[in-house]
DNA sequence: ATGGTCGCGCTGCGA
């Protein structure tokens, strides 16, 4: 079973790229982030034509997450518990093909010390609480998405330049570790030790041709899922296409149960 | 080079 995660930066603007990549990579499950459209405007038919069922949680202009699966999607959850005032579309979860999967778009945080940074830390704390309730389930669990955190200096092209900046600040790295330390395996880190498995390159300043990337997209596997981990990777080629997202897709392959 | 480029949706915001 192949599970992928892809921050597409607008599913409408990226439709040809995403469809072409799905046709090549053929994931069984794909977690999308930054779809940037309300559910009624989501290009459903194009994905259904490739054999995917859809679960959507979108909003206008910003954010938006989705799950594509070749298997039926059951028990869909469309918000992260813990803050009734949080209306941003950043979380969706479902049970499909014998595994519970979640697509998460963690807030960027904008700048350390800002209100948005505090919102990010609060979101990560809520995600930890919810992940703790998932890790103890009988079913395997995969939480994938754009975490907007580079866990380690090895995940950053220039750690000195990024030190204490948003995406790399010790407080958000600690918040990420509190989640993984619940018992999750970072699939990319487990199979690409030593880093340089970047997943995001800024559109600006020629970051992509210079490979000035960060590893901020992750797939976290519960113990029952991690026991089945066979391989994982980043599809860098997608980042080099015309009209590419600023993120590359990440994926992992699990052995059949 | 303290800049740069996207997407959304029509002005500047978010990333």
Q: Please write the tens of the pLDDT for every residue from A26-47.
A: 999 999 999 999 999 999 999 9
Q: Average pLDDT in the A175-194 region?
A: 92
Q: Which nucleotides of B are covered by protein (CB under 7 A)?
A: 1, 3-9, 14-15
Mean pLDDT across the stretch A149-170? Answer: 97
How is residue A247 annotated by DSSP? B
* CA distances (Å), origin A20, targets A46, A48, A237, A240: 11, 14, 12, 13
- pLDDT surpassing 80 at residue A160: yes
pLDDT tens profile A224-247 = 999 999 999 999 999 999 999 999
Nearest amino-acid residue to B8, taking CA and C1': A61
Averaged confidence pLDDT in chain A: 97
Q: What does the alpha-carbon distance between residue A255 and residue A227 come to, in Å, rounded to a whole number?
A: 9
The per-residue pLDDT for range A45-60, each reduced to its tens digit, is 999 999 999 999 999 9
Query: How would residue A190 be classed by pLDDT, with cut points 50, 70 and 90?
Result: confident
Minimum-distance residue to B7 (CA–C1'):
A10
Distance CA A250, CA A5 (A): 5
A257 falls in which pLDDT band (50, 70, 90)? confident
- CA-CA-CA-CA dihedral for A175, A179, A185, A190, to nearest 10: 0
Calculate mean pLDDT across residues A1-18: 98
| Topology (CATH level 3) of domain A2-254 | Deoxyribonuclease I; Chain A (3.60.10)
C-alpha distance from residue A12 to each of A15, A16, A46, A47, A200 (Å): 5, 9, 11, 12, 20
Which of helix, strand or coil describes residue A44? helix
pTM of the model: 0.98
Ordered by start, the domain boundaries in chain A are 2-254
| DSSP code, position A102 | E
Q: What proportion of chain A, given as a percentage, has pLDDT over 70?
A: 99
Q: What percent of chain A has pLDDT over 90?
A: 96
Q: With CA atoms as reference, report the closest residue to A248 among A6, A84, A1.
A: A6
Which residues of A are catalytically annotated?
Answer: 105, 146
Using pLDDT thresholds of 50, 70 and 90, give the confidence band for residue A136. confident
Tens-place pLDDT, residues A82-127: 999 999 999 999 999 999 999 999 999 999 999 999 999 999 999 9
Q: In the predicted model, is pLDDT for residue A191 greater than 90?
A: no
CA A137 vs CA A133, A143, A208, A238: distances in Å: 7, 13, 40, 34
Residue A133 belongs to what H/E stretch? helix A115-135
> Å between A74 CA and B15 C1'?
32
CA distances to A3, A56, A110, A202, A203 from A210, rounded to whole Å, are: 29, 35, 23, 11, 11
What the block records as the tokens of A132 is: 């703790």
Long-range pairs for A155-160: beta carbons < 8 A, 24 or more residues apart: A155/A195, A155/A197, A155/A198, A155/A214, A155/A215, A155/A216, A156/A195, A156/A214, A156/A215, A157/A198, A157/A211, A157/A212, A157/A213, A157/A214, A158/A212
Q: Which nucleotide is nearest to A108 (CA to C1')?
A: B15
- pLDDT, one tens digit per residue, over A203-228 is 999 999 999 999 999 999 999 999 99
Q: What does the pLDDT read at residue A192?
A: 73
| pLDDT given at position A195 | 67
> Of A72, A67, A68, which is closest to residue A97 (Cα–Cα)?
A72
CA distance linking residue A91 with residue A69, whole number of Å: 16
Secondary structure (3-state) at A243 = coil
CA of A255 to C1' of B13 (A): 44
């Amino acid at each position: 079973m192949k599970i992928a995660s892809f921050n597409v930066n607008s599913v409408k603007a990226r439709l040809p790229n995403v469809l072409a990549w799905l046709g090549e990579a053929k994931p069984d499950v794909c977690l999308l982030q930054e779809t940037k459209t309300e559910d009624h405007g989501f290009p459903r038919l194009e994905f259904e034509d490739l054999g995917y069922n859809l679960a959507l949680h979108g909003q206008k202009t910003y954010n938006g997450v989705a799950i594509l699966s070749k298997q039926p999607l059951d028990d869909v959850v469309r918000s992260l518990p813990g803050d009734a005032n949080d209306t941003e579309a950043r979380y969706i979860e479902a049970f499909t093909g014998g595994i519970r999967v979640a697509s998460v778009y963690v807030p960027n945080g904008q700048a350390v010390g800002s209100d948005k940074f505090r919102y990010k830390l609060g979101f990560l704390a809520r995600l930890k609480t919810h992940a703790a309730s998932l890790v103890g389930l009988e079913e395997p669990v995969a939480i994938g998405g754009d975490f907007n955190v580079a866990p380690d200096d090895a995940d950053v092209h220039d750690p000195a330049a990024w030190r204490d900046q948003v995406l790399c600040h010790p407080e958000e790295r600690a918040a990420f570790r509190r989640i993984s330390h619940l018992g999750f395996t970072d699939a990319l880190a487990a199979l690409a030790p030593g880093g340089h498995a970047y997943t995001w390159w800024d559109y600006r300043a020629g970051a992509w041709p210079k490979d000035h990337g960060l590893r901020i997209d992750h797939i976290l596997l519960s113990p029952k899922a991690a026991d089945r981990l066979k391989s994982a990777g980043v599809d860098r080629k997608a980042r080099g296409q015309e009209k590419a997202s600023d993120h590359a897709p990440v994926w992992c392959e699990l052995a059949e149960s």
